[in-house]
Structure 1
Amino acid sequence: MKIAIVGAGGVGGYFGALLARSGTDVTFIARGAHLAALQQHGLLIENTEGENIHVPNVKAVENPAAIGPVDLVFLAVKLADSEKTARTLHPLFGPQTCIASFQNSVGKDDILRREFGDPPVMGGVAYISAYIDRPGVIRHVGGLHKLVFGEFDGNRSPRALAFLQACQAAGFDAELTDDIRKKIWEKFVLLVGISGATTTMRKGIGPIRDNPLTRQFLLDLMQETAAVGRAQGVALPENYARDRLEFTHKFPADMTASMTQDLKLGKPLEVMWLSGAVTEMGAQLGVPTPANRAVRDILALYAEGDPKEAAAPKR
């Protein structure tokens, strides 16, 4: 396959590096110092568990028009940049091109459908804790690295099967599902909980799940999100949030959400797409969401970014 990775951060950078290393034709779309580092030194993945991965020669550009049509557009930019970025991606599209978003939202694919129509859009979910540590370097926390994707009609299409084969050759976990909407909501439940808890508390998942009060708050965030999903018609079991709480024990104690890293760096936060979206959907559906409203309101002053936060002295 010929793949364009749009957004070479923790998700796009990590999975794109492994795909490129295995021989898949991958081009990264990036900008600034990160783009310059990719072009000059390649891409380095630093693992907290396992060996580092260096892909010395990667293709990286700033302008999608420099690539031309591809088989798959792998979208992994921050949610706030989705609409603006989507408008720039038309040069990547030929008659058979598909686009899969691996962003953190249940509304992400609606943006793509408005821009490209229904047929090109394939659903995607990424399970990984990774972020740009410095230009050209992605830090991967823990051993989890999985992509889940599929067509919204449940069909095992040739393009989905081709991407599955590429992922398997790259050596990371991959799953082709016949119910991608449910998979997106399953990830959303976990992500809303971990993002909301680790960012408001500024702690790794370990201390949060081990303290009775913070553990309950984490569970509340996920239970509210699951309840909103069920109200939307998604078949999430009643005990799904509690199951996800137990699942967090697979994560290293110091693991945080990428939103926590963004807060530390004074960058804009995705809170309005996560707990904020749960709060809005809950209000529309008559589902109470007090814990998610608390996260949204606590982080509201940081939602657009706060450079002074990044400059504050570390204790």
Structure 2
Amino acid sequence: MEIKKVSIIGLGALGILFGHHLSKRMPQGDLSIIADQERIRRYQRDSLYCNGERCQFNYLTPEDKGEPADLLIFAVKYNGLQDAVKAVKNQVGEHTIILSALNGISSERIIGQTYGMDKILYCVAQGMDAVKVGNQLTYAHMGMLVFGEGEPGLISERVKRVAQFLKGKAVPYEAVTDMNRRMWGKFMLNVGVNQTVAVYKSNYGGIQKEGAARDTMIAAMREVMVLSEKEGINLTETDLTYWLNLLDTLNPEGKPSMRQDMEARRFSEVELFSGAVLELGVKYGVATPVNQELYRRIKVIETQYD
């Protein structure tokens, strides 16, 4: 069954990046952005721009009914996930495939509780250096979507369908058979880079060079490595090197999402990162002092918001 109709919920950096790319390669009626009426009015009034180009999106409200999506992509922040799950109910049909581009290791399970894990492919978005300021998104590296089944060693027909669609639309992707490991690797990366850049008020360049910030980032990532052993994932130095090498390819002036949130005085996804690490540390009796300190410092910063 060929993927033709695609819906995206969430117009942060990832939603705009992939939405704009697809909108130039799909019939307008086949790509829909799901948003409430108030957001739609704001998007239409102010417009959204991606690398200087005005985005041309087809919007649907949660109440609009029609044919369900063949592919549904979640690109919201974690604190908006529960509302997003409710908002896409008219987009989900018998054959809908769902990808979640959220950070962390829990969004697939949360979405699956409502729509069934049989509709979910595990996914991580990696390698992009997009920065969103107001209604303007800029990026040098688009990155890619990495996806696969939760069961190791399996490239299913669903995975092949998504791969065929993305290839046809020139979206960089990788279909893999070890998504649990890849998701934990991305989790390790986010725990390190998002929090460190936020606390040091820096950018990717700040952790691409030797120094205190890079040391802090790697130390936080190593705490995740220890926890991964307890979870049976067993991240290694090879995994650490892979993600550090990926970081070194990003635009030094780019910034991860948590740093962008703090600059905009938005509450961050810290509970997805060090918050989750601290919970797992308690669960397994593993000390996580670096993440404890990062959590503390981020919470202090957030208490200073108006």
TM-score by length of 2: 0.88
CA distances 1:102-150 after superposition (whole Å, capped 9, x unpaired): 1001111121122222211111111123243233x3222x324211011
- Equivalent residue in structure 2 for 1:146, among 144, 147, 159: 144
The CA deviation at 1:239 is 4.4
Aligned 8 A contact 2:131 2:254 in 1: no
Equivalent residue letter for 1:3: V
1:261-276 alignment to 2 at 5 Å? 261-276=260-275
Which aligned runs of 4 or more in structure 1 are off by greater than 6 angstroms? none
Distance 2:300 2:226 in 1: 27
In 1: Cα distance, 2:189 partner to 2:284 partner: 21
Instruction: Tell me the equivalent position of 1:195.
Output: 194
* Corresponding position of 2:85: 86
Q: Give the distance between the partners of 2:274 and 2:264, measured in 1 at CA.
A: 20
Structure 1 residues 299 and 104: CA distance shift in structure 2, 3 A: same
User: Which structure is higher in strand share?
Assistant: 1
> Deviation of residue 93 (structure 1)?
1.3
Structure 1 residue 283 displacement after superposition: 1.8
The C-alpha deviation readout for 1:158-203, integer Å capped at 9, x for no partner, is 3322222222233231011112111111111111111011001110
Matches within 5 A, 1:155-166: 155-166=154-165
For residue 4 of structure 1, the aligned residue among 4, 7, 31 is: 7
Partner of 1:129: 129
Contact 1:101 1:125 in 2 (8 A): yes
**Aligned runs of 1:231-246 on 2, under 5 Å?**
231-246=230-245
Match of 1:203, SS?
Answer: coil
> In the alignment, what sits opposite 1:223?
222
Query: Which residue number corresponds to residue 29 of structure 1?
Result: 34
One-letter code aligned to 1:5: I
Structure 1 residue matching 2:31: 3-state secondary structure: strand
How much does 1:259 deviate?
A: 0.9
2:294 is aligned to 295
Instruction: Kindly provide the amino acid, as one letter, of the partner of residue 166 in structure 1.
Output: F
Cα distance between partner residues in 1 of 2:63 and 2:164: 25
Instruction: Quote the residue 2:94 is aligned against.
Output: 95
Q: Please provide the CA RMSD for this pair.
A: 2.3
Structure 1 pair 41/166, CA: closer, same or farther in 2 (3 Å)?
farther
8 Å Cα contact 2:78-2:103 kept in structure 1: yes
The answer for the alignment partner of 1:313 in structure 2 is none
8 Å contact kept, 2:149–2:156: yes
Residue of 17, 20, 42 corresponding to 1:14 = 17
Q: 1:238 to 1:175 in 2, by over 3 A?
A: same
- The residue matched to 2:32 in structure 1 has which SS? strand
Aligned residues of 1:129 and 1:258 also touching (Cα < 8 A): no
Which has the higher mean CA deviation after the structures are superposed, 117-126 or 201-210?
201-210
**Aligned length, in residue pairs:** 299
Q: Distance in 2 between matches of 1:263 and 1:130?
A: 16
1:102–1:124 Cα contact (<8 Å) kept: yes
Task: Tell me how far 1:270 sits from its aligned partner.
Answer: 0.1
Preserved contact between residue 9 and residue 131 of structure 1 (Cα < 8 Å)? no
Write the distance in 2 (CA, Å) between the matches of 1:159 and 1:216. Answer: 40
| CA contact 2:163–2:173 (8 Å) conserved in 1 | yes
Shift of 1:66: 4.2
The one-letter code sitting in structure 2 at the alignment partner of 1:107 is S
CA contact under 8 A between 2:193 and 2:256: conserved in structure 1? yes
Helix, strand or coil for the counterpart of 1:245?
Answer: helix
1:66-107 Cα offsets, whole Å, 9 max, x none, are: 454111110011101112321232211111112111100111
The aligned counterpart of 1:176 is 175
Which AA in structure 2 matches 1:257? P
| Separation (CA, whole Å) in 1 of partners of 2:159 and 2:37 | 32
Unaligned runs of 5+ in 2: none
Q: Deviations over 1:219-270 (max 9, x none)?
A: 1011111221222111322443244334322122222211111111111210
Instruction: Tell me the percent identity.
Output: 24
1:163 is matched by which residue type in structure 2? V
Normalised to the residue count of structure 1, the TM-score between the two structures is: 0.86
